[in-house]
Homo-oligomer: A and B are copies of this chain.
Amino acid sequence: MKLSDLTQHAGEWLRGSGPRSEVVISSRIRLARNVAGFNFLSRCTRHQRQVLEQKVRQTILDASLAPQTLYVDLEQAPEVDRQLLVERHLISKPHAAAEGARGVAIGKDETVSIMVNEEDHLRIQVLRSGLQLQEAWDQINKVDDQLESKLDFSFNPRFGYLTACPTNVGTGIRVSVMLHLPALKLTGEIEKVFRAAKDLKLAVRGLYGEGTEATGDFYQISNQSTLGRSEDEIIEDFGDSIIPKIIDYEHHARKTLISEKGVALDDKVSRALGLLRSARLMATDETLLLLSHLRMGVHMGRVKDVDLGTINELFLLTQPAHLQKIQGKKLEGDVRRAARADYIRARLNGH
């Protein structure tokens, strides 16, 4: 598998095909692990970091954890490739921007990725379309077990897995769900969700994780600390209680919009499609917002002639690195915005 094979489709996280996908974009679980006998990365020398990366890389590839695993050496990879991996949610922004020996192993269907030398020695991630936390948990458990049979992970009988940041100590788990909540945004009720999430000690973030704004009405909700609770408790809490409640709120808001503000709703959706089909210059943020309104319109049955798969793909393929990969050249400023608008028009006007 080559990196360029990834650019032709939306990947797992925006496939838009899983359960409850009218609201839930994707479910993600990641585990933080460190290899015993090595310092945490902040205390590693350049050389130790290299040795560690070699060791973990070899273990992953030997184990054939996923057949046709692609390993990307991020120290060598050009910026556009690192940006592409961020856009696909396969590595984090800090991992892309860091220096020194580091990499990522990606399973064939992009559900599994393992970041090597991010904040911890290993960050194992499973990402699935729609609401599939239990499936993600079963999958990541197997990967974790396979790796643990080859690597000795830092573990303390009292605290659990040891991690670079204390918030991850214990299970080292972070569970997050990416939600599309355009109706709650339009009715203004999204603030209530934020307050409820805060009371439950959950973090609400934007499309690209920590420190990013909520663009295009996408909200990533995740647990903040892991100490003192079992993985099963966290996952059950999320998948069976918290997320279904938010989904219900969003559905309620959608019904309210239809019954009380049908014309204003259609205006928003129809303007979004009109602009996407006619603009000659299109910035990333405006694209996300318009696609968000369009996605809502299709899911609510207000737009009939646009394919949902196309919309989901456009969310990703219009991102800067994807656009440049598709065009095969560096694009900046208005040239990039023009290329994006041209690409969107071609896809949505069906030629």
Contacts and interface: CB of A to CB of B under 8 A. Distances in A.
A210 to B, nearest CB: 34
Query: What is the oligomeric copy number?
Result: 2
A41 to B, nearest CB: 46
Interface string A246-271: 00000000000000000110110011
B270 A279 contact: yes
Interface in A273-292: 273-275, 277-281
Contacts of A275: 271, 274-275, 278
A334 interface: yes
Contacts of A338: 263
Counting chain B CB atoms within 10 Å of each CB, which of A267, A271, A275, A278 scores highest?
Answer: A278
Interface string A332-347: 0010001001000000
Contacts of A278: 270-271, 273-275
Nearest to A266: B280
Nearest to A276: B274
Contacts of A277: 274
27 contacts: A263-B280, A263-B281, A263-B334, A263-B338, A264-B280, A264-B281, A264-B334, A266-B280, A267-B279, A267-B280, A267-B281, A267-B341, A270-B278, A270-B279, A270-B280, A271-B275, A271-B278, A271-B279, A271-B280, A273-B278, A274-B274, A274-B275, A274-B277, A274-B278, A274-B279, A275-B275, A275-B278
Interface of A: 263-264, 266-267, 270-271, 273-275, 277-281, 334, 338, 341
